Each structure stands twice: as structure tokens, then as C-alpha cells.
Amino acid sequence: MCQLGPSEYIPNRVNSFLTSLEESILRRHNYYIITTAYRRSWVLAANGWLDNHRTVSSRTHLNYQEKRTFSQNYKTVVNTTHTIDV
């Protein structure tokens, strides 16, 4: 098991994918953003844990509306780990 760093930690590269609104939503709901070395993916792990069996993967490319919908649903996915391929 691996616990992530503080919720304030968001890599600079995430700005190319997430808007400032999305980043603020992540911080407000205590999400963590990390990158994996072996996959080009953003992993959003609720409560700072990676070992969550309920994982939802998005399509490889998200269009604008999908990004807005995903952003709006952050607050409803507590205890769920999302992998966003980019």
C-alpha cells in the first residue's frame, strides 16, 4: 500500500489537462493526483490510497463536455479511484 502526499500537491503538468476549477474541486474533496511511470495516466485516488478495487477508466481522449461532466462528478466518487488516460 502506498499513501500519497498532501492534498496540496498537484504536479505542474496536470495543468495541461485539468482546469483551475477542476484542481480546486480536487483539493476541496481531498483528492490526490499522481502520475504512473509505466502508463501515461493520471490517477485520482480518494483518501490518499491506491489499493481501491472499484476503478473506473475513462476513454483515452476526453472532449470538453466529458471533462466538464467528470469535473462535476468529483464530489460523488468518494472512495473510488479514477484513472484518466491522456
pLDDT in tens, 19-56: 555 555 555 554 444 333 323 334 444 333 333 323 33
CA distances in angstroms from 53 to 29, 73, 86, listed in the order given:
20, 19, 21
Rounded CA separation 46/78 (Å): 6
pLDDT, average across residues 52-66: 37
Asked whether 71 and 22 are in contact (CB, 8 A), the reply is yes
User: What rounded mean pLDDT belongs to the chain?
Assistant: 43
Percent of the chain, pLDDT > 90? 0
pTM of the model: 0.20
